[in-house]
Structure 1
Amino acid sequence: MSDGSIITLLSIGVTGLFMLGVPVFLVIGYWVIGMSFLLGMPLDNIGAALSDVFTDGFALLAMPLFILTGDLINRSGIARRLSDFAYSCLGWLRGGLAMASLGACGLFAAISGSNSATTATIGSMLHPEMVKGGYDERFSAATAAAGGTVGIIIPPSIIFIVYGFLLNLPISELFVAGIIPGTLMVLGMMLAAFVICRRNGWGYLIALSPLRVAKSGLGAWLGFFAIGLVLWGIYTGKFSPTEAAGVTVGFCVIVGFLCLPLHRMVNRGRTERPDVSERSFGEMLVVRGFGPLELPSITMRSAQITGILAPLIAVSVVMQQILSVLGAQEIIGSFVTSMGGYYAVLFTSMAIVFVAGMVLESLPVTIILAPILAPVAQDVGVEPVQFAVIFLVGASIGFITPPYGLNLYVASGVTGVPYFRLLRYTLFYLVTLIGVWLLVALVPALSTVLLPQG
């Protein structure tokens, strides 16, 4: 049997495993091991890649720290305060709670940098409230899944860190470039939610109360401070992304420890969480917090997620090496280059990213395709930072495109709504996000206007 036939059979076999639900890490790992045997590559290359991912990449150390930040702000109650603020601002509109869920996803993403953490946190908090508020449970779950897509675009972003590491681009500039596109994604999805809810008459309205908005805004001050701390530190150059992640983790730990006793003090005698309008000044200033004994379990949860992502990066790096040996990178690069000019190359690259995102998670899509497509795009005049944003917005859309659609699985898990029942209402958000994606591609200033000049 020829090598080509063996490669084909191996690829079909691992594709079958993927369709059966085998984790992506194992699917790629099996393919990498099989190809290593076939090509005579030493297996210790995989172990070396796994070791080098973090020991040789200081920037990648920010990834586990931002994952931990997401868990800390969720456990401390900061995430709940951010969602309360979003609802106070938008609850007077038809579909206000759905729009508030999307706004809360954007605010949570501005601290955590993770799509799955954003979907899981906001979905578990607001899906029950949306269902009780008269929304269709399928739409509610789809809203959480779609809102999580901004988790890797609004800075800080785990995947921007990986992209910058691979393409040797300043991660701080990538973070800044994601601010406007991420905001447009949130606003676009809010508009879609408003139209859907208005047409179906979903959601109970609350009166717009400046006092409620002010109280909820004051109650979310710790979240706003954390967002401002990260963005200020990175934008001004005071922190590297890794240092910003460490500072944010330290801030969240201090807040959690200090607020726990204060929260118990100001809430003494209460048996349930008070409504925003009923909170005293002291209740607005402090969040629930957590104790030192809870920290190991929070850290363990974050470590489990990191333990999934880190090996995936390692085997994807080896997969990239194997594809290079097979000449796949040259084939794809030549195909994209043959498309011709600026827009042909740009839209072909976007199509490739979109299709890849349907079957792979954003991490392997980035590791495998970014080093191939980015140089070709740069050769035809696409600014590297702008292409990074275009590439990663496309990768983020893959979180809600079947058959993979990671956010759909996460939303299904935290809400109990079956995966395939989410797809109908996900389609509306998908069309909206593709529209925003095209806008970002056609208007370079949306990605570059905030970058430091000179």
Structure 2
Amino acid sequence: MTDGTIITLISIGVTLLFMLGVPVFLVIGYWVVGMSFIIGLPLLNIGAALSDVFTDGFALLAMPLFILTGDLINRSGIARRLSDYAYACLGWLRGGLAMATLGACGLFAAISGSNSATTATIGSMLHPEMVKGNYDERFSAATAAAGGTVGIIIPPSIIFIVYGFLMNLPISDLFVAGIIPGALMVLAMMMAAFLLSWKNKWGILIGLSFSRMAKTALGAWLGFGAIGLVLYGIYTGAFSPTEAAGVTVGVCIIVGFICLPIYRMIGRDGNRPLEQKSWWEMLVVQGFSPLELPSITMRSAQITGILAPLIAVSVVMQQILSVLGAQQVIGDFVTGMGGYYAVLFTAMAIVFVSGMVLESLPVTIILAPILAPIAHDIGVEPVQFAVIFLVGASIGFITPPYGLNLYVASGVTGVPYFRLLPYTVPYLVALISVWIFVALVPELSTALLPER
């Protein structure tokens, strides 16, 4: 049996394992070990690569810290405050609660850096409210799933950290580059939600109240503070993304400890109507006790424990793909398309199709080292291509058959997966339109980058 046949059989085998639900880390790990035997790479190479990632990957330290920040903010009750603020701003419009759900997803994404966490948190809170507000339950669940797509685009973004680590790009630049595209994604989805709600007469309108807007904004101060702290520090160069994550975690812990006893003292008034709460009461978030901190940290560590080994083993996977010539084959195919736009849109098509069957992390790990150099060769600025690449990967979260956010939304809302699909189409159209716009207008990604 030839080496080519064995390689094909191993690849088919691990693909079947993936389809059967085996974790991606094990699927890639099995493939890496099998390929190492075939091409003659010593297994010691795998151990050395894993060690190098964990000892030299300083930028990756930001990943668990931002995950922890999102968990601390969520446990403090600030996610609900952000949702209340978004509804106060948009509830007077037709489809206001649907647009508020998308706005809340954007705000929470600016803290959590995760698509699935954004969908699960906002979906579990606002889906019941949307159903009560005369929205179709399938549309409500699809809205939460679509809103979660910005979780990896609006900074801080876990996948931007991974991309920057793999491609040796400044993570701070990637964070800043994602601001405008992320905002455009939210606005485009809001427009789709407005049109659908207006057509179907969904939603119950509330009066426009600037007092309500101001009070809910005050209640969400910790969320806005965390967002502002990260963006200010990174944009001004006051600290690196890793340092920004550490500072934000420290602030959230201190505020959470301080607020808990005050919150208990005023009688856990979270269920009182907003109009009955005083201005100073809005300053007090739920908080958490020191005894809860280990469990919150453990949850964040579990997520990090899933992501970090996958990143590490992907380094070896890239080495093997290079030896096998896969990068050359894909590169020749893409560059053979012709001119600038043909090459760029072919690369985007590959990302889109890959996102239909894979999560954004393996898509980034496998394709970014292949497509990014090609894009650079045709004149695409590396940071801009990073945004193009990851916006395309984010669309895969609501694209069947994989559509991770659709599964998450189905799980937290109880709406069957296949019943969500028709209501994702308007959001897909909106997101793809923004994606093409971002690809055609480089300034959307680079305008906010600091002068070098």
TM-score bin, normalised by smaller chain: over 0.9
Provide the secondary structure at the position in 2 that maps to 1:85.
Answer: helix
CA distance in 2, matches of 1:150, 1:42: 40
CA distance in 2, matches of 1:53, 1:70: 24
Question: Structure 1 336/230 Cα, relative in aligned 2: closer, same or farther at 3 Å?
Answer: same
| Structure-2 residue corresponding to 1:377 | 375
Which digits, 9 at most, give the CA deviation of each residue in 1:223-275, with x for residues without a partner? 1111111100000000100000101111111111111011112236x5x6122
Matches within 5 A, 1:414-433: 414-433=412-431
CA distance in 2, matches of 1:127, 1:32: 42
| Structure-2 residue corresponding to 1:188 | 188
CA distance in 1, matches of 2:287, 2:50: 35
Q: CA deviation at 1:128?
A: 1.5
Q: CA deviation at 1:134?
A: 1.7
| Structure-2 residue corresponding to 1:283 | 281
8 Å Cα contact 2:398-2:405 kept in structure 1: yes
Within the alignment, does 1:320 sit opposite 2:318 as a pair?
A: yes
Segments of 5+ residues of structure 2 without an aligned counterpart are none
Matches within 5 A, 1:6-25: 6-25=6-25
CA distance in 2, matches of 1:33, 1:411: 35
CA distance in 1, matches of 2:46, 2:135: 48
Provide the secondary structure at the position in 2 that maps to 1:370.
Answer: helix
Q: Normalising to structure 1: TM-score of the pair?
A: 0.97
Instruction: Letter of the 2:157 partner, please give it.
Output: S
Which digits, 9 at most, give the CA deviation of each residue in 1:133-156, with x for residues without a partner? 222222111111111111111111
Matches within 5 A, 1:189-338: 189-267=189-267, 270=269, 273-338=271-336
Q: CA deviation at 1:218?
A: 1.1
Matches within 5 A, 1:433-444: 433-444=431-442
Provide the secondary structure at the position in 2 that maps to 1:14.
Answer: helix
Instruction: Letter of the 2:161 partner, please give it.
Output: I
Q: CA deviation at 1:170?
A: 1.3
CA distance in 1, matches of 2:276, 2:5: 69
8 Å Cα contact 2:54-2:312 kept in structure 1: no
Which digits, 9 at most, give the CA deviation of each residue in 1:306-358, with x for residues without a partner? 11111111222222111111100011111111222211111111011111111
| Structure-1 residue corresponding to 2:57 | 57
CA distance in 2, matches of 1:427, 1:47: 44
CA distance in 2, matches of 1:278, 1:232: 34
| Structure-2 residue corresponding to 1:104 | 104
CA distance in 2, matches of 1:434, 1:134: 28
Which digits, 9 at most, give the CA deviation of each residue in 1:280-308, with x for residues without a partner? 12221111011011111111111111111
| Structure-1 residue corresponding to 2:29 | 29
Q: CA deviation at 1:109?
A: 1.1
| Percent of pairs with identical residues | 84
Deviates more, 1:361-370 or 1:438-447: 361-370
8 Å Cα contact 1:97-1:130 kept in structure 2: yes
**Which residue of 347, 353, 356 corresponds with 2:354?**
356
Aligned Cα root-mean-square deviation (Å) = 1.4
CA distance in 1, matches of 2:61, 2:248: 13
| Structure-1 residue corresponding to 2:45 | 45
How many residue pairs end up in the alignment?
A: 452
8 Å Cα contact 2:154-2:182 kept in structure 1: yes
8 Å Cα contact 2:257-2:287 kept in structure 1: yes
Deviates more, 1:403-412 or 1:299-308: 403-412
| Structure-2 residue corresponding to 1:76 | 76
Instruction: Letter of the 1:112 partner, please give it.
Output: S
CA distance in 1, matches of 2:103, 2:185: 10
Provide the secondary structure at the position in 2 that maps to 1:211.
Answer: helix
Q: CA deviation at 1:50?
A: 2.9
Provide the secondary structure at the position in 1 that maps to 2:206.
Answer: coil
Segments of 5+ residues of structure 1 without an aligned counterpart are none
Provide the secondary structure at the position in 2 that maps to 1:74.
Answer: helix
CA distance in 2, matches of 1:14, 1:436: 35
Provide the secondary structure at the position in 1 that maps to 2:356.
Answer: helix
Which digits, 9 at most, give the CA deviation of each residue in 1:403-423, with x for residues without a partner? 222212222222222222221
Q: CA deviation at 1:49?
A: 2.9
Which digits, 9 at most, give the CA deviation of each residue in 1:72-95, with x for residues without a partner? 100001111111100001111111
Instruction: Letter of the 1:382 partner, please give it.
Output: V
8 Å Cα contact 2:348-2:392 kept in structure 1: yes
Instruction: Letter of the 2:237 partner, please give it.
Output: G
8 Å Cα contact 1:54-1:61 kept in structure 2: no
8 Å Cα contact 1:151-1:157 kept in structure 2: yes
CA distance in 2, matches of 1:28, 1:359: 15
CA distance in 1, matches of 2:159, 2:20: 27
CA distance in 1, matches of 2:349, 2:283: 48
Q: CA deviation at 1:159?
A: 1.0
Question: Structure 1 418/336 Cα, relative in aligned 2: closer, same or farther at 3 Å?
Answer: same
Instruction: Letter of the 1:185 partner, please give it.
Output: M
Instruction: Letter of the 1:32 partner, please give it.
Output: V
